[in-house]
Amino acid sequence: MTNRLRTQIEEEEAEQQKLIVEEKQDAEFPDNFITQFFTKGFWNAESATKALPFVLFIAFLGMIYIANMHMAERSIRDINKISKEVKELSWDYKTTKADLAFKSTLTEVAKRVDTLGIKESLQPPQKITDAEVKNEH
């Protein structure tokens, strides 16, 4: 051992640890195919910057495609809903028409009129001509 102060020894050890830490920072990226491709290969920061407008354009087209699909699905749901509604209204129309046809038959009308106190005429209707009307005046 040499005759040195303890502070000098601690300073030397701290400098050695700094050197070890600095060496570890240099070997941050492993040296494999992917890192070489992106750092030394054809794909680097400059080419990525040049390709950025195209990538944004493709992303924009993708968003338009997704929005179009959502609108188409919503339209299909609306069409199905309206077609069900039309079928229900058609059924309502047919039942109402059949009910009206039943209620307008002679026997049904006679039953309803009896409740009002009006009786059915037993004499057949008579035809009035224009000459008869002039003679009465």
* pLDDT tens track for 34-75: 776 666 666 667 777 888 999 999 999 999 999 999 999 999
CA torsion 81-85-90-92 (nearest 10°) is: 150
Q: pTM score, two decimals? A: 0.47
What total of structural domains would you count in the chain? Answer: 2
Q: Are residues 33 and 61 in the same domain?
A: no
Query: What gap in Å lies between CA 6 and CA 64, rounded to an integer?
Result: 71
The residue range of the domain holding 90 is 56-136
Whether 80 is covered by a domain: the verdict is yes
Query: Is pLDDT of 77 > 60?
Result: yes
- Least confident piece of the model among 25-34, 44-53, 78-87, 120-129: 25-34
- Contact at 8 Å (CB) between 48 and 39? no
Query: What gap in Å lies between CA 89 and CA 82, rounded to an integer?
Result: 10
The residue type found at 54 is F
Q: Are residues 66 and 98 in the same domain?
A: yes
Whether 88 is covered by a domain: the verdict is yes
Q: Are residues 28 and 62 in the same domain?
A: no
Whether 48 is covered by a domain: the verdict is no
Cα–Cα separations (whole angstroms), residue 27 to 19, 54, 106? 13, 34, 104
Structure tokens at 6: 């303890």
